[in-house]
């Protein structure tokens, strides 16, 4: 039973560029959440998708956008990259709210994004 | 707004010692869930436990135990007879109850880096 799969594992981009990160949820899960984890910090919630719609967004600018596909996989797009966007980006899958929090969230290993 | 505080940035103990990781949370909801995750150097967050706000019973799982006290808004995690493999960053997280059209993003603390020395 595959867990959450994220790609790529590492990425280096130049300031001002755009990046797309991908996530495949755990089998049986249809809800995907994205988190940003800066070095030495806890993960911060970016947004959550289910039924192919953004359902909740954390305190992140519009440069961060996402998409969910009919097969429940998801993409995170970041435009006009800043040096401060360098972080580990984690994807978590779950059942949709409110069931999700009762059964927990499964996290992937993340994508390490470095902006230079 | 919800908030999770893990005041201990780093803890270092010798193997076989007991260690407690503190977690204090803030929420205005009466229904919420608390979580502990372990993050090894590989980066993946490994689920350890989930607790809902209506269940204050302490839980023990092998060498791990959790003490949930609503009166002090704390959800502390104790490792008994620590082992080198326990070395990791541990995160406490909170999710408030679903209401209306809301979703259920987690609010994490800053984590505690636990170092178990042989």
Q: How far is B84 from chain A (nearest CA, A)?
A: 21
Residue B79 scores a pLDDT above 70: yes
User: Band of the pLDDT at B107, cuts 50, 70, 90?
Assistant: very high
Q: How many CB atoms lie within 10 A of CB B84?
A: 10
Q: What is the pLDDT of residue B31?
A: 85
Residue in B4, B47, B103 closest to A48 by CB: B103
Q: What is the pLDDT of residue A13?
A: 98
Contacts of B84 (CB under 8 A, 6+ apart): B15, B116, B117, B118
Q: Which of A22, A4, A9, A7 is nearest to A93 (CA)?
A: A4
Q: What is the pLDDT of residue A15?
A: 98
Cβ–Cβ gap A48/B107 under 8 Å: no
Q: What is the pLDDT of residue B42?
A: 84
**Nearest chain B residue to A88, by CA:** B43
CA distance B26 to B75: 11
Cβ–Cβ gap A97/B98 under 8 Å: yes
Q: What b/e readout covers B43-66, taking b as 16+ CB neighbours within 10 angstroms?
A: bbbeebbbbebeeeeeeeeeebbb
**pLDDT, tens digit, 9 for 90 and up, residues A48-89:** 998 999 988 889 999 999 999 999 999 999 999 999 999 999
Q: Which residues of A touch B4 (CB under 8 A)?
A: 42
Residue B44 scores a pLDDT above 70: yes
**pLDDT, tens digit, 9 for 90 and up, residues B19-42:** 999 999 999 888 888 999 999 988
Residue B47 scores a pLDDT above 70: yes
Residue A99 scores a pLDDT above 90: no
Cβ–Cβ gap B106/A45 under 8 Å: yes
Question: Taking the alpha carbons of A22, A7, A26, B46 in that order, is the dihedral positive or negative?
Answer: negative
Q: What b/e readout covers A69-96, taking b as 16+ CB neighbours within 10 angstroms?
A: eeebbbbbebeebeeebbbbbbbbbbbb
Q: Which residues of B touch A42 (CB under 8 A)?
A: 4, 6, 91, 93, 108-111
Q: How far is A62 from chain B (nearest CA, A)?
A: 18
CA distance B42 to B79: 21
Task: State phi, psi for A85 to the nearest 5 degrees.
Answer: -80, -5
User: Band of the pLDDT at B97, cuts 50, 70, 90?
Assistant: low
């Amino acid at each position: 039973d595959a867990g959450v799969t994220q790609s790529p594992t590492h990425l280096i981009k130049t300031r001002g560029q755009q990046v797309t990160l991908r996530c495949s949820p755990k089998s049986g899960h249809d809800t995907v959440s994205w988190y940003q984890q800066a070095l030495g910090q806890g993960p911060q919630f970016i947004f959550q998708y289910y039924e192919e719609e953004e359902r909740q967004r954390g305190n992140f600018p519009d440069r961060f956008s996402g998409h969910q596909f009919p097969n429940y996989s998801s993409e995170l797009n970041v435009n006009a990259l800043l040096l401060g966007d360098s972080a580990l980006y984690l994807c978590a899958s779950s059942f949709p709210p409110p069931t999700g929090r009762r059964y927990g969230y499964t996290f992937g290993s993340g994508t390490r994004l470095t902006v230079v | 707004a919800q908030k999770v505080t893990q005041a201990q940035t780093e803890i270092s103990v010798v193997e076989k010692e007991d260690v407690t990781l503190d977690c204090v949370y803030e929420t205005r909801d009466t229904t919420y869930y608390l979580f502990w995750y372990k993050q090894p150097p590989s980066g993946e967050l490994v689920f350890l436990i989930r607790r809902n706000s209506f269940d204050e019973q302490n839980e023990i799982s092998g060498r791990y135990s959790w003490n949930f006290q609503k009166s002090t808004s704390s959800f502390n995690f104790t490792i008994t007879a620590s082992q080198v493999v326990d070395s990791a960053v541990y995160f406490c997280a909170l999710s408030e109850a679903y209401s209306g059209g809301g979703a259920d993003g987690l609010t994490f603390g800053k984590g505690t880096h636990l170092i178990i020395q042989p």
